[in-house]
């Protein structure tokens, strides 16, 4: 990376101080890269340890879903406003706070002795992640010469993908060697190095101006999402007819209506509701939610199938689960080129169809299929996801007005997270009910029932992906508002 960044920044600074400027920029980007790698490593690493953590912390599958959801909820609620707060107090200050919070929370997660404490510390990690994710790209943009910004964004995107891809493999090795706690303690040295590099080399002056922040919208959205996730999670244990479940789901609907009305009335809304009048944008955002509802199940459910039904070791599970993300990393360079050549909408449509086909194939898997049988199925899904992401961003952003690009960029991220929350809760509940792993892990479902639940969830996923493809079928999409 050093050689490339030296070339990228060779035109920066005056002749007498260019060497120092180049060095500072290299080290600043290195710090940002480490923070993004750490955060994305943690996002994917936790899935490998879920079965072991359920047993060690003596909790249930339904409670363990909050190991993922607590993190996603806080990230969802805060990512849309972290940038605005950074403009007020200074991006560097808030970015460093994010690294410090995430690193400290990782240490606390590794020391947690109960599921309740672990969930609380995962929520704290979500706060740190929101600050890192929202501000790291903004800081990199400020530091980088405009004509070289694409290259730096490419480097940071690659680092992000590598973090996600490395999670299952590193997680499996750490889990089998040092225990599940090490999967979170490993973030501490990364965080310390990223903080020191950011503190010394990142330059981001504070902008002293008043910016209106929709705190009411933030709180209302967070409460609505929390009620939704708690209600859905409780269905597995209490059923649909439980008064608490019905109340929480009713509050979810009322909260959503209230949030939409609030966003229409205030001057500086968290989300500009009028943007949904554009059919292309609204259909693609809905499709994004649906696709990521499907994709998250390829992260949270395979460890249960591979461990309980296929009887692979923890190390093997980690290696197997790294295949899909690594395939995505390997193919990511081609997604944009193919979308430019054949049209983003067309490529995105066939990508979602590919995801649907992959999910249908996965719904036929049995332990007799061995590793190869799993890999080619997950490979089809990963191939579809790779050629969905870049065209999806392009289709939405190319029709956005200049003053809406930041909003839509944030909204795409929000749509992905909402899909992950929906998939984690709804598909997790369906899997738990069908497979019998709703109790403690040591008394979980048999190999046959786990396989049955796993297959049925992916059959449902195939229909969800097919519906998403119908939404974005090029013939039915109009760029007119």
Q: Provide the 8-state DSSP code for 57.
A: T
Task: Quickly tell me which residue has 């002293």 as its tokens.
Answer: 208
Is the sign of the CA dihedral 52, 56, 61, 64 positive or negative?
negative
* pLDDT surpasses 90 at 358: yes
437: confidence class by pLDDT, cuts 50, 70, 90: low
Lowest mean pLDDT among 53-57, 322-326, 465-469: 322-326
More confident residue, 226 or 259: 259
CB atoms within 10 A of CB 389: 22
Lowest mean pLDDT among 3-7, 20-24, 268-272, 428-432: 3-7
pLDDT in tens, 7-17: 333 444 433 34
User: For position 2, what pLDDT does the model report?
Assistant: 40
List of residues 6+ apart from 109 with CB closer than 8 A: 118, 121, 122, 125, 181, 184
Q: Provide the 8-state DSSP code for 208.
A: -
User: For position 17, what pLDDT does the model report?
Assistant: 43
Tell me the H-state helices in 90-114.
Answer: 91-111
Highest mean pLDDT of the ranges 207-221, 377-391, 394-408, 427-441: 377-391
pLDDT in tens, 281-308: 888 888 989 998 998 888 888 888 888 8
20: confidence class by pLDDT, cuts 50, 70, 90: very low
Please say whether the beta carbons of 328 and 157 come within 8 A: no
Please say whether the beta carbons of 457 and 431 come within 8 A: yes
Q: Is 94 exposed, middle or buried (0-12, 13-18, 19+ CB in 10 A)?
A: buried
More confident residue, 149 or 336: 336
Q: Which two tokens stand for residue 401?
A: 């007005």
- Residue 240 sits at the vertex; the CA angle it makes with 53 and 430, to the nearest 5 degrees, is 45
pLDDT in tens, 159-170: 777 777 677 778
Integer Cα distance of 444 and 51 in angstroms = 10
pLDDT in tens, 307-344: 888 888 878 887 888 788 778 777 766 766 677 678 77
Please say whether the beta carbons of 296 and 457 come within 8 A: no
On the CB side of 281, CA atoms within 13 Å amount to 22
Mean per-residue pLDDT, 446-468 = 92
What is the percent of the chain with per-residue pLDDT over 90, rounded to a whole number?
20
Lowest mean pLDDT among 37-41, 184-188, 229-233, 250-254: 229-233
Integer Cα distance of 335 and 361 in angstroms = 23
> Pick from 365, 361, 31, 54: which is nearest to 204 by CA?
31
pLDDT in tens, 88-140: 677 788 889 999 999 999 999 989 888 889 999 999 999 998 888 877 777 77
* pLDDT surpasses 70 at 410: no
User: For position 106, what pLDDT does the model report?
Assistant: 93
Q: Which two tokens stand for residue 152?
A: 């730096």
């Amino acid at each position: 990376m050093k050689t490339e960044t030296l070339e990228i920044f060779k035109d920066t600074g005056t002749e007498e101080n260019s060497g120092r400027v180049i060095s500072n920029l290299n080290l600043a980007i290195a710090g940002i890269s480490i923070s993004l790698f750490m955060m994305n490593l943690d996002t994917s690493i936790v899935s490998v340890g879920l079965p072991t953590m359920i047993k060690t912390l003596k909790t249930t599958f339904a409670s363990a879903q909050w190991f993922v959801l607590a993190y996603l909820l806080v990230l969802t609620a805060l990512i849309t406003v972290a940038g605005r707060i950074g403009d007020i107090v200074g991006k560097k200050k808030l970015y460093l706070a994010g690294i410090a919070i995430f690193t400290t929370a990782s240490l606390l997660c590794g020391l947690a002795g109960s599921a309740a404490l672990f969930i609380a510390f995962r929520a704290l990690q979500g706060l740190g992640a929101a600050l890192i994710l929202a501000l790291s790209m903004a800081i990199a943009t400020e530091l980088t010469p405009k004509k070289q910004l694409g290259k730096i964004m490419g480097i940071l995107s690659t680092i992000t993908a590598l973090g996600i891809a490395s999670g299952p493999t590193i997680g499996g090795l750490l889990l089998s060697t040092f225990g599940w706690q090490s999967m979170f303690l490993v973030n501490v040295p990364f965080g310390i190095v990223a903080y020191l590099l950011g503190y010394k080399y990142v330059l981001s002056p504070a902008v002293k101006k008043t910016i209106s922040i929709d705190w009411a919208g933030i709180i209302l959205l967070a409460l609505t999402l929390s009620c939704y996730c708690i209600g859905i999670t409780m269905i597995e244990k209490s059923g649909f007819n439980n008064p608490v479940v019905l109340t929480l789901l009713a509050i979810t609907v009322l909260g959503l209506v209230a949030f939409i009305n609030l966003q229409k009335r205030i001057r500086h809304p968290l989300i500009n509701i009028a943007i949904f009048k554009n059919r292309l944008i609204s259909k693609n955002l809905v499709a994004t939610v649906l696709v990521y509802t499907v994709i998250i199940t390829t992260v949270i459910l395979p460890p249960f199938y591979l461990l309980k039904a296929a009887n692979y070791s923890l190390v093997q599970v980690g290696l197997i689960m790294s295949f899909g993300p690594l395939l995505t990393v390997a193919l990511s360079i081609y997604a944009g080129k193919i979308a430019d050549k054949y049209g983003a909408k067309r490529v995105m449509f066939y990508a979602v169809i590919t995801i649907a086909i992959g999910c249908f194939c996965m719904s036929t898997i049995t332990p007799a299929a061995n590793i190869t049988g799993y890999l080619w199925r997950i490979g089809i899904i990963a191939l579809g996801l790779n050629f969905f992401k870049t065209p999806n961003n392009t289709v939405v952003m190319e029709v956005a007005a200049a003053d809406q690009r930041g909003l839509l960029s944030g909204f795409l991220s929000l749509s992905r997270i909402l899909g992950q929350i929906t998939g984690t809760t709804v598909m997790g509940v369906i899997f738990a009910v069908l497979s019998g792993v709703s109790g403690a892990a040591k008394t979980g479902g048999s190999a046959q029932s786990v396989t049955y639940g796993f297959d049925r969830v992916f059959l449902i996923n195939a229909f969800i992906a097919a519906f998403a493809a119908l939404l974005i079928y090029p013939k039915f999409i109009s760029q007119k508002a």
